[in-house]
Structure 1
Amino acid sequence: MQFITDKQTLADLNLLGKYKSGSLFNFFNRVKTKGGELLLEEMFRTPLTDVVGINSRSASIRYLQKIGIGFEMDNEPLEDALQYLTGARPSGFIASLLGCYRLKIQEILYHSDSFQVHQQQTKAMLQVFRSANILLGNLEKLEEKDNSCKSLQSRLSEVIKNVPIQHFELDRPYSLQETAQFQDLFLNKFRNQVEQLFHILYEFDVLISVASVATERKLSYAKASKEDSDILMEAENLKHPTLSDAIGNSFSLSREKNLVFLTGANMAGKSTWMKTLGVSFYLAHMGFPIAADRMTFQVMEGIFTSINVPDDINAGWSHFYAEVMRVKSVAKEVSDGKRLFVLFDELFKGTNVKDAYDATLAVTERLAGYKTCAFVISTHIIEVGEALLNTPSVIFRYMPTIMVNSKPQYTYHLTEGITTDRQGMIIIENEKILEILG
């Protein structure tokens, strides 16, 4: 089963993008190899949807973090070795030897550098195996009784021990016969094992990279629970992982209480908190660490957010119509019976207050009836909250604003209830807008 999301959600939560400032991909991207970077991107695009897979990956990262292992391997020899692997598979040693003779003759007659490049790539392949062997030795030296990386470590050991390269030296030129032996070894007899080695090394590169971030930022690991659990999501002191000075909050959603109605003034922290929830949910399904003292969650089928919905000039959609179409697309997914986490920030803010009130109330009441989904809906229209007080599955939370000397201050502490804060006009007066206008 594939995890369901879309471009809007990925953009709202700033999940992807090597060159995008503040992205979660960049936050965890400490990999040493190009293949590791591609694998990390793949993990970000395909969160897991099975309990065993999620908890297994979390346990592997936690174990590598605990033993403090490093990934000491340069990308350059890996890339040279990969280039070597693009060569055609020889039929046997004789074919390899004839090919090497041909390259050597070209070097003598035409000053071609093909044979030297071939030797360089051969050395790179040997260097990769030597570095992999060092990694394996460090893993075995640091190994503890409960080794959650045992399977991956065993695969690495099996490949290294099955490819007979131990007696070859690195720092000398190879004869034509030796070069042909390597080609037959790597590109023919043990090609599948060599390709496996690269995949294993990329996986270690990613897991060790994520473990190093977890150590540096003091992150923890969420625990996935089965579908029959009553708790949909529960966290203590949950923070946004990329914000070093974030205020943590506790949070809980269940089948019986599956919708949080969130209110608060502008700048009180509603949007940041919703992004925190979305990011943490997404990372937890990847098996990656999150910023919390504790978190458990029920594995779901996907996540949809509506936080920064733009208008669409090409389609002729106003901001409000774009909001409506966004809610419609999510409603279809929910009504199809999918188990989803849905976050709507400031529903229908693109229309007048009366329509926004009616629409927010109607949509919220209906969403609350889908017990296998979890929802967080924020709004400035606190009257909607008052109309929902008798809806048993709705939880009410707000972000407080405290006025100190007529200036707003924000605690960012999630508080039970519905806000009564109405400081908009005070802020306008503080900025002296009316005085500027005369």
Structure 2
Amino acid sequence: MGHPLINENKRVRNSINIDNKICIVTGSNMSGKTTLLRTVGINLLLAYAGTAVCAKKMTCSVMDICTSMRVVDDLSEGISTFYAELLRIKMIIDHSRKKKPMIFLIDEVFRGTNSLDRVTGARNVLLNLDKDWVIGMISTHDFELCNLEKSRGGRIVNYHFIETYTNNEIKFDYVLRRGQCKTRNAKYLMKMVGIELLDE
């Protein structure tokens, strides 16, 4: 499966099976997490519309699609980015209580709050959505969430993207792999744009 809006010469296709699963996707900045979630969502919409999908083969059932991907604040209503995301996540959890087949796509959950609250909140979101009729994908930088794979009996699985470094350049292959990400690139990117790291 690939993203239909990415030039065919640059498009990287990945295979994934989300059957009866919740996928936690980790990876460094710019490694492909958000693009993967959008790829799944767009191809589902294309399939439901009865048109061609950007995939060699795709099998899907009819499900409601619930997303939290490009959440923004609303100054006129006094709603911060974090609060807007909370409202969006609540909508997804409320929808899951209808016991209808659904898929959720949540990108970098709770990025608008501190790391401790983010991990605690994200963990509770996943536990709320761990229902037989719900599948989904969540991207995160918080590796602590990957521990859920061991405790949820195969329902929650880890996937990741990686990067490599050659001649002071960062390279991404955008290939999805099983397991938890082991790399981080924030400090490297800071150096690349010229921010001095004074605490090293």
The TM-score with structure 1 as length reference comes to 0.43
The offset of 1:424, in angstroms, is: 0.7
Letter in structure 2 aligned against 1:347: V
Alpha carbons 1:341, 1:375 under 8 Å: kept: yes
CA deviation string 1:329-350 (max 9, x = no partner): 1111111212111100000000
Match of 1:271, SS state, is helix
What does residue 249 of structure 1 align with? 14
Alpha carbons 1:247, 1:413 under 8 Å: kept: yes
What does residue 180 of structure 1 align with? none
Q: Distance in 2 between matches of 1:240 and 1:249?
A: 10
User: In the alignment, which of 86, 101, 105 is matched to residue 343 of structure 1?
Assistant: 105
Alpha carbons 1:339, 1:372 under 8 Å: kept: yes
Q: Distance in 1 between matches of 2:170 and 2:69?
A: 24
Match of 1:251, SS state, is coil
Alpha carbons 1:406, 1:426 under 8 Å: kept: no
Identical-pair percentage: 29
CA deviation string 1:77-135 (max 9, x = no partner): xxxxxxxxxxxxxxxxxxxxxxxxxxxxxxxxxxxxxxxxxxxxxxxxxxxxxxxxxxx
Q: Closer, same or farther in 2 for the Cα pair 1:336/1:371, shift >3 Å?
A: same
What does residue 304 of structure 1 align with? 66
User: In the alignment, which of 26, 31, 51 is matched to residue 288 of structure 1?
Assistant: 51
The offset of 1:353, in angstroms, is: 0.4
Match of 2:59, SS state, is strand
What does residue 269 of structure 1 align with? 32
Q: Distance in 2 between matches of 1:424 and 1:293?
A: 34
Alpha carbons 2:25, 2:158 under 8 Å: kept: yes
Letter in structure 2 aligned against 1:380: H
Q: Distance in 1 between matches of 2:134 and 2:46?
A: 18
The offset of 1:254, in angstroms, is: 1.7
Letter in structure 2 aligned against 1:337: K
Match of 2:18, SS state, is strand
Alpha carbons 2:160, 2:181 under 8 Å: kept: yes
Q: Distance in 1 between matches of 2:98 and 2:165?
A: 45
CA deviation string 1:57-78 (max 9, x = no partner): xxxxxxxxxxxxxxxxxxxxxx
Q: Which residues in structure 2 correspond to 1:40-59 (within 5 Å)?
A: none
Could you tell me which runs of 5 or more consecutive residues in structure 1 were left unpaired when the two chains were aligned. 1-237
Alpha carbons 1:311, 1:319 under 8 Å: kept: yes
User: In the alignment, which of 147, 160, 180 is matched to residue 386 of structure 1?
Assistant: 147
Match of 2:112, SS state, is coil
The offset of 1:366, in angstroms, is: 2.4
Q: Which residues in structure 2 correspond to 1:286-435 (within 5 Å)?
A: 286-300=49-63, 302-368=64-130, 370-392=131-153, 393-434=155-196
The TM-score with structure 2 as length reference comes to 0.92
The offset of 1:407, in angstroms, is: 2.5
Alignment RMSD: 1.3
Q: Distance in 2 between matches of 1:406 and 1:416?
A: 27
Q: Distance in 2 between matches of 1:324 and 1:405?
A: 42
Q: Distance in 2 between matches of 1:262 and 1:386?
A: 13
Match of 2:75, SS state, is coil
Q: Distance in 1 between matches of 2:162 and 2:132?
A: 29
Aligned residue pairs, count? 194
Structure ranking higher in strand proportion: 2
The offset of 1:387, in angstroms, is: 4.3
Q: Distance in 1 between matches of 2:166 and 2:126?
A: 34
Q: Distance in 1 between matches of 2:3 and 2:139?
A: 18
The offset of 1:323, in angstroms, is: 0.6
Letter in structure 2 aligned against 1:317: I
Could you tell me which runs of 5 or more consecutive residues in structure 2 were left unpaired when the two chains were aligned. none
Look at both structures and tell me which one has the larger radius of gyration over its CA atoms: 1
Q: Distance in 2 between matches of 1:410 and 1:365?
A: 31
